[in-house]
Amino acid sequence: MIIVDELKNRALILNSRPDGYPDESNFKLIEIDIPELNPGEFIVKILWLSVDPYMRGRMSDKKSYAPSVEIGDVMVGGAVGKIISSRNTEFEVGDLVEGRFGWQEYAISNGMNARKLTINESDISKALGALGMPGLTAYFGLFSLGRPIPNDTVVISAASGAVGAVVGQLAKLSGCKVVGIVGSDPKAMYIKNELNFDYVINYKKEDVCKRLLEICPNGIDIYFDNVGGEILEAVLENLAFRARIVVCGQIAQYNLANDEVAHGITNFRNILTNQATVEGFIVSRFASDFPQAYSFLERLYTDGKLKTKEDIIINLENTPEALLRVLTGKNFGKQIVQIV
């Protein structure tokens, strides 16, 4: 049994709000005592932290779909870990759990936002990626909003990322023609050769609009948008009739300095002429259907039909750096931090 009294928790708190890209000065590492457990609570020793683009939004005090992190609060985020002490009858010591535990080494939970993991312990980091929130985001964005049918042309931006890579694999399984847009040659090689995307565009080297016209002569039926900005504009030039644009992320817009204006979309009119649908969504909307989506994805993974790639950074201290990697597209695969 672990003597909780002797443990110290270390956490990263929000220290200041960024203007443009965040950096390490926006966070502060603190050491805190772990309080006594109340009835119903348990302590999780965190093993893996998730690092995701949406976190940039939580650092800002601009109005968004979820509340901001307050200065001085532990930075939010998903994590997986093992329960080391429990006063909750449904969560036992030794259980592996995933939850919104934040950027810290230990977390106290009452189980409300925690999910017991049934996958192998060696795979638990996947519960932050393809078998977690990014996987669910891909699943509901593609199936509920994109509504693919065989032979649809599906274009995905940030296609090697945690969400995009799952979207592409699900679209391939649905019989679609899949085009991935990425920002480096290794990422391009990966989605083409490992994930079997039909086409790939490196937006840093190629004219996206022109390439889409070549690759998608019948237009784009589904665009899974993780980035917004100029790539969205290029896609709008190449829509098929009744195209569906699934707005999942707008990472191109997340790190604007306070005096910067986002790239303006000048061809909105194409939404009218193609009778297209654009829909923004946050995965929590589909919460009531999470169980079947988890089962579906876990089954695919077990069957070897869902490949995953992780980009691992070691140590809590390096989590800000990991976030910057994600926001600048330097990560290659799902960005996670291993707490050792």
CA–CA gap between residue 85 and residue 47 (Å, rounded): 15
- Sign of the four-CA dihedral 264, 267, 272, 276: negative
d(Cα 104, Cα 123) in Å, to the nearest integer? 21
Q: Is 65 in the site for a second copy (CB under 8 A)?
A: yes
Nearest approach in angstroms of CB 48 to a second copy is: 27
Residue 245's nearest CA partner among 223, 230, 219, 227 is 223
Tokens at residue 6, please? 């002797």
The yes or no reply on residue 210 touching a second copy (CB under 8 A) is no
258 binds a second copy (CB under 8 A): no
The nearest distance, CB 45 to a second copy, in angstroms, is 34
Q: Which of 94, 266, 288, 303 binds a second copy (CB under 8 A)?
A: 266
Is residue 21 involved in binding a second copy (CB under 8 A)?
no
Stretch that binds a second copy, among 14-22, 62-70, 207-215, 309-317 (CB under 8 A): 62-70
Looking at beta carbons only, is 253 or 338 nearer to a second copy?
A: 253
Q: Is 240 in the site for a second copy (CB under 8 A)?
A: no
- Burial call 128-143: b when 16+ CB within 10 Å, e when fewer: bbbbbbbbbbbbbbbb
Instruction: Find the binder of a second copy among 94, 269, 288, 303 (CB under 8 A).
Output: 269
What tokens were used for 121?
């312990």
Distances (CA, A) of 262 to 75, 197, 299: 26, 30, 40
Per CB under 8 A, 259 contacts a second copy? no
- Nearest distance, CB of residue 241 and a second copy, angstroms: 8
User: Cα–Cα distances in Å, from 306 out to 129, 149, 151, 309, 324?
Assistant: 11, 19, 20, 10, 27
What number of residues does the chain have? 340
234 is an interface residue for a second copy by CB under 8 A: no
Nearer to a second copy, 1 or 261 (CB): 261
- Cβ-contact 292, 107 below 8 angstroms: no
Query: Do 101 and 109 touch, CB atoms closer than 8 A?
Result: yes
Residue whose pair of structure tokens reads 């190449």 in the numeric block = 238
Strand, helix or coil for residue 241: strand
Site membership for a second copy, residue 262 (CB under 8 A): yes
What secondary structure letter does DSSP report for 194? I
In the list 281, 290, 296, 332, the residue contacting a second copy (rule: CB under 8 A) is 281
Window of 28-36, 41-49, 71-79, 258-266 that interacts with a second copy by CB under 8 A: 258-266
Residue 209 in contact with a second copy, rule: CB under 8 A: no
- Smallest distance from a second copy to CB 183, Å: 20
Q: Considering only 89-97, 166-174, 246-254, 310-318, which stretch makes contact with a second copy by CB under 8 A? A: 246-254
Task: Kindly list the residues in this chain that would bind a second copy in the complex (CB under 8 A).
Answer: 57, 63-65, 228, 232, 247-250, 253, 261-269, 271-282, 285
